[in-house]
């Protein structure tokens, strides 16, 4: 059976020109299980509405899959409604962060037939098996649906053995098209950069994170990781890998072995870790090996320097070891970005300022400060509703649905938090060292455009308050 995997164009995706990793993983798995997927990425501009419609008609496609984050959800629903109107009888399945967090909301739109919660390979394959046989899908782990107007919930999706998963179907994408676009994250050393994931799951319990991959860490063996990298280098000319694992450095020895094999095979690549590695889970040997393997940038998610809020958000990061990691990275000439969050419910002005002062004065090359947004499906949202941070009033509950920080009686207003955020950026990026660092990046038009966009986003009064 053939499915159309569609990523709709969305305002939230205006500068997110990344490879749709979820689609290349899903496509590879269902291909191995007797089905086919056509990947249509309208974020690129290469796939148009008419092109999608032509594909559906010509290939007699009867099911379409759309993945989305919370910021993409309205556009995904709009495209699902358009598909339903244009192609009567087509079935729509949603997956990804937002659908996994609130499958009932997706089904309540009236245009979504199925929602896959969690990792989608097994559930999607079993759904396609049933539909191809002309049967109504029975109980499938991870699959939510509507029956007689009632939501049929499911047990969590079964977790596939990562060692037995097929190689992601990068071959179904025109990677050269992606190479022509601006990188969605840090400045790549090579214009031929792709996103890559080598493990799934994170055993830590940071409450602001979605948990699509669960809390059990599963790392692909180092040899298979580097085999896949080598194929992308030799066959597709990839020159840089943007590693987007939930926690690449959980297993230190595995991480070191991956780096060693990259060096031993002389892949001559660049690497960056923009997703945020765990700052207190390093030793200097790993940092040195990462540099030797081509790493030039990594982000460390610190979030807050308050022990109280480290405990409340269940992150429990050790600040001093994280600072040591930053120093090692600087020693080995790896750029480091610090991720921070302000505006936790009940967080005082003094607590916010202490985190900001740390961010501005730490030996970091770049910083990113986001305002807390309790997305649906996260433990943070549930904690807030259940009163872990204190009593919430009606305004606070309403703020949850607006994706703004909770307005707890002791919290700071959103406008004040935005002012603190902008002032912190100005203090950090107006320093001579920061200006010089950015100036070194002005080597091509793409980098210049990226810097201009970043400056505009940080100084204007934007409603986009968080990417967490």
Contacts of 370 (CB under 8 A, 6+ apart): 339, 340, 341, 342, 465, 466, 467, 468
> Distance between CA 77 and CA 74 in Å, rounded?
5
Coil, helix or strand for 406?
coil
**pLDDT tens string 42-84:** 887 667 899 999 999 999 999 999 999 888 899 999 999 999 9
**pLDDT score, position 120:** 93
Whether 124 and 117 have beta carbons less than 8 Å apart is answered as no
Whether 364 and 338 have beta carbons less than 8 Å apart is answered as yes
User: Residue 428's closest CA among 368, 345, 353?
Assistant: 368
| Mean per-residue pLDDT, 435-460 | 74
Segments making up each domain of the chain, as ranges = 2-152, 182-459
Q: Which CATH number fits domain 2-152: 3.40.50.12780, 3.10.20.90, 3.40.50.9100, 3.40.50.280?
A: 3.40.50.280
Phi then psi for 217, rounded to 5 degrees?
-70, 130
The most distant pair of C-alpha atoms in the chain lies apart, rounded to whole Å, by 66
Whether 4 and 52 have beta carbons less than 8 Å apart is answered as yes
> Distance between CA 92 and CA 6 in Å, rounded?
11
**pLDDT tens string 214-242:** 888 999 999 999 999 999 999 999 999 99
Residue 16: band (very low, low, confident or very high) from pLDDT cuts 50, 70, 90 = low
**pLDDT tens string 151-174:** 888 877 788 899 999 999 999 999
**pLDDT score, position 45:** 62
Across 204-208, 284-288, 311-315, 402-406, least confident range: 402-406
**pLDDT score, position 398:** 52
Contacts of 423 (CB under 8 A, 6+ apart): none
User: Residue 106's closest CA among 154, 63, 74?
Assistant: 74
| Mean per-residue pLDDT, 209-218 | 84
> Distance between CA 105 and CA 149 in Å, rounded?
13
More confident site: 428 or 394? 428
- Location of structure tokens 């790549």: 188
> Distance between CA 258 and CA 260 in Å, rounded?
5
- Location of structure tokens 């798995």: 29
The rounded percent of the chain whose pLDDT value lies above 70 is 90
Q: How many residues does the chain have?
A: 468
> Distance between CA 162 and CA 220 in Å, rounded?
6
**pLDDT tens string 26-43:** 999 999 999 999 999 988
User: Residue 152's closest CA among 101, 205, 115?
Assistant: 115
Residue 407: band (very low, low, confident or very high) from pLDDT cuts 50, 70, 90 = very low
Eight-state DSSP code of residue 159:
P
**pLDDT score, position 408:** 40
Residue 403: band (very low, low, confident or very high) from pLDDT cuts 50, 70, 90 = very low
- Residue 237 CB neighbour total at 10 angstroms: 12
Give the mean pLDDT of the chain: 88
**pLDDT score, position 275:** 87
- In terms of CATH, what superfamily is 182-459? tm_1862 like domain (3.80.30.20)
Contacts of 85 (CB under 8 A, 6+ apart): none
Across 11-15, 265-269, 317-321, 350-354, least confident range: 11-15
**pLDDT score, position 35:** 97
Residue 112: band (very low, low, confident or very high) from pLDDT cuts 50, 70, 90 = very high
């Amino acid at each position: 059976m053939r499915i159309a995997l569609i990523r709709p164009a969305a305002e939230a995706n205006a500068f997110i020109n990344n490879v749709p990793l979820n689609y290349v993983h899903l496509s590879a798995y269902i291909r191995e299980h007797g089905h086919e997927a056509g990947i249509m990425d309208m974020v690129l501009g290469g796939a148009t509405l008419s092109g999608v419609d032509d594909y559906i008609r010509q290939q007699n496609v009867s099911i379409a899959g759309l993945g989305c984050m919370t910021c993409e959800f309205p556009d995904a629903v709009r495209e699902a409604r358009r598909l339903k109107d244009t192609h009567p009888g087509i079935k729509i399945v949603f997956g990804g962060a937002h659908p996994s967090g609130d499958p009932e909301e997706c089904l309540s739109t009236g245009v979504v037939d199925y929602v896959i919660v969690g990792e989608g390979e097994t559930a999607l394959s079993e759904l396609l098996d049933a539909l191809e046989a002309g049967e109504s899908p029975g109980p499938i782990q991870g699959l939510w649906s509507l029956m007689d107007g009632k939501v049929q919930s499911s047990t969590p999706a079964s977790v596939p053995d990562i060692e037995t998963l097929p190689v992601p179907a990068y071959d179904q994408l025109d990677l050269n098209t992606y190479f022509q676009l601006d990188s969605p994250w840090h400045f790549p050393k090579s214009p031929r950069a792709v996103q890559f994931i080598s493990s799934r799951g994170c055993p830590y319990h940071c409450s602001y994170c979605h948990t699509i991959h669960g809390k059990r860490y599963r790392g692909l063996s180092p040899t298979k990781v580097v085999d896949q990298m080598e194929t992308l280098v030799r066959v597709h000319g990839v020159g840089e890998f943007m590693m987007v694992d939930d926690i690449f450095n959980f297993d230190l020895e595995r991480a070191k072995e991956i780096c060693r094999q990259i060096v031993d095979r002389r892949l001559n690549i660049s690497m960056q870790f923009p997703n945020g590695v765990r700052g207190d889970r390093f030793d200097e040997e790993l940092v040195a090996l990462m540099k030797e393997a081509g790493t030039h940038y990594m982000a460390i998610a610190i979030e807050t320097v308050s022990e109280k809020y480290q405990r409340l958000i269940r992150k429990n990061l050790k600040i001093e070891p994280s600072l040591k990691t930053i120093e090692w990275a600087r020693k080995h000439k790896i750029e480091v970005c610090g991720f921070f969050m302000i505006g936790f419910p009940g967080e005082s002005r003094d607590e916010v300022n202490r985190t900001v002062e740390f961010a501005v004065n730490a030996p970091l090359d770049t910083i990113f400060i986001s305002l807390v947004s309790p997305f649906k499906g996260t433990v943070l949202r549930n904690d807030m509703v259940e009163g872990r941070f204190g009593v919430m009033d009606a305004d606070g509950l309403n703020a949850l649905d607006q994706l703004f920080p909770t307005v707890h009686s002791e919290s700071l207003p959103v406008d004040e938090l935005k002012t603190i955020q902008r002032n912190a950026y100005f203090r950090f990026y107006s320093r001579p060292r920061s200006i010089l660092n950015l100036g070194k990046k002005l080597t091509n038009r793409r980098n210049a455009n990226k810097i201009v966009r970043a400056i505009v986003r940080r100084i204007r009064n934007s409603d986009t308050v968080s990417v967490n």
